[in-house]
């Protein structure tokens, strides 16, 4: 009977022993194992993403010449508009540089834009992350901001040899210093609940009490530039409503994130350069 009891308890004894042993394994070994297991899967997932790109290519090849001509014409219009904006931008940059020299201001942080295709989207209730197809091989750094045409995507959490993992702004626990467009006072944004079959949502805290927002007149939430990670004035989402917090000193509110955030295929990593790179 005691032998039978020992046999029954053996799996749980083994579990306890493994747990105890795992707790004392050095962090360096765990980091090495983590990287090893990740890199083992990375080539398979990257190959799958290349296959998806190939599928997209062949599906685009089926488009008629008329459609391509229309798309080309639209692009010409867009390029012309962007060309004018670039010229204005160059003029403004020169002005900023001249004023900076006059006031002896330190040079602002610079970023190198690194576009990257998405290997895998992983949007669960526990976490929201994407894997992109660029890593150490393109000089991506941990903590680098990631953006897309609609605004902020998130922040690089892990950098591997050929891929990087990005925490999305919709991920629970992700916090960003933000402000409401046209109002410089900083507020705190946090990734929130991501309901099924609906766009992701976030929450804002420490909203000044004189700010009023209704679903009919949402306010754009942008990055504040504080904290040194995200450049200022990038769209995070739209505040759809605020209500007084329990202490009555501030307000809290809901943020509607862009639906496109859930269907991204390409993002841009802003790799810090100059003084920001050392932070």
Q: Where do contacts with another protein occur on this chain (CB under 8 A)?
A: 7-8, 10-12, 14-15, 18-19, 22, 30-31, 33-38, 40-41, 44-45, 48, 120-127, 129, 131, 157, 165, 167, 171-173, 190-200, 203, 262-263
Chain centroid to CA 146: how far?
A: 5
Pairing of strands 201-207, 164-168: unpaired
Q: Which is nearer to another protein, 18 or 232 (CB)?
A: 18
Spatial separation of the C-alpha atoms in residues 214 and 223, rounded to whole Å: 21
Q: At its nearest, how many Å lie between another protein and the CB of residue 127?
A: 5
Q: Look at residues 49, 52, 53 and name the one whose alpha carbon lies nearest to residue 131.
A: 49
> Which residue lies nearer to another protein by CB, 100 or 244?
244
**Min dist. Cβ of residue 248 to another protein (A):** 20
Q: Least distance to another protein from the beta carbon of 262, Å?
A: 5
- Strand-pair partners of 103: none
Structure tokens at 126: 């526990």
The two tokens of residue 264 are 């991204």
Cβ atoms of 257 and 202 closer than 8 Å: yes
**Contact criterion met (CB below 8 Å) for 231 and 176:** no
Which residue pairs from 247-250 have beta carbons closer than 8 angstroms and sit at least 24 positions apart in sequence?
Answer: 249/209, 250/205, 250/206, 250/207, 250/208, 250/209
Kindly state the smallest distance separating residue 9's Cβ from another protein, in Å. Answer: 9
Quote the least distance from Cβ 230 to another protein, whole Å: 19
Give the nearest distance from C-beta 142 to another protein in angstroms.
13
Query: Which residues in 79-110 are b (16+ Cβ under 10 Å) and which e?
Result: eeeeeeeeeeeeeeeeeeeeeeeeeeeeeebe
Q: Cβ closer to another protein: 30 or 73?
A: 30
Task: Pick the closer one to another protein by CB: 195 or 274.
Answer: 195
> Tokens for 100?
């900076």
Contact 132, 144 (CB under 8 A): no
Residue 116 C-beta: closest distance to another protein, Å? 15
Q: Are 161 and 125 in contact (CB under 8 A)?
A: no
């Amino acid at each position: 009977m005691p032998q039978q009891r020992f046999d029954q308890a053996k799996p749980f004894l083994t579990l306890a022993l493994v747990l105890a042993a795992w707790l004392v394994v050095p962090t360096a070994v765990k980091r090495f194992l983590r990287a090893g297991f990740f890199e083992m899967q990375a080539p398979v997932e990257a190959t799958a993403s290349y296959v998806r790109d190939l599928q997209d290519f062949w599906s685009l090849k089926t488009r008629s010449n008329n459609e391509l001509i229309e798309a080309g014409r639209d692009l010409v219009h867009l390029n012309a508009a962007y060309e004018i904006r670039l010229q204005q931008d160059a003029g403004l940059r020169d002005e900023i540089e001249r004023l900076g020299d006059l006031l002896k201001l330190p040079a602002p942080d610079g970023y190198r834009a690194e576009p990257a295709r998405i290997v895998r989207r992983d949007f669960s209730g526990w976490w929201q992350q994407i894997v992109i197809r660029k890593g150490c091989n393109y000089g991506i750094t941990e903590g680098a901001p990631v953006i897309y045409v609609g605004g902020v995507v998130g922040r690089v959490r892990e950098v591997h040899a050929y891929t990087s993992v990005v925490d999305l702004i919709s991920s629970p626990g992700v916090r960003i210093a933000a402000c409401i467009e046209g109002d410089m006072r900083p507020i705190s944004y946090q990734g929130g609940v991501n309901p099924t079959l609906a766009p992701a949502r976030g929450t804002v805290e420490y909203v000044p009490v004189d700010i009023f927002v209704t679903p009919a007149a949402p306010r754009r939430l942008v990055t504040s530039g504080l904290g040194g990670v995200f450049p200022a004035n990038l769209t995070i989402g739209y505040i759809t409503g605020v209500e007084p917090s329990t202490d009555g000193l501030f307000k809290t509110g809901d943020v509607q994130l862009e639906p496109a955030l859930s269907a991204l295929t390409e993002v841009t990593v802003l790799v810090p350069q100059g003084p920001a790179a050392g932070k």
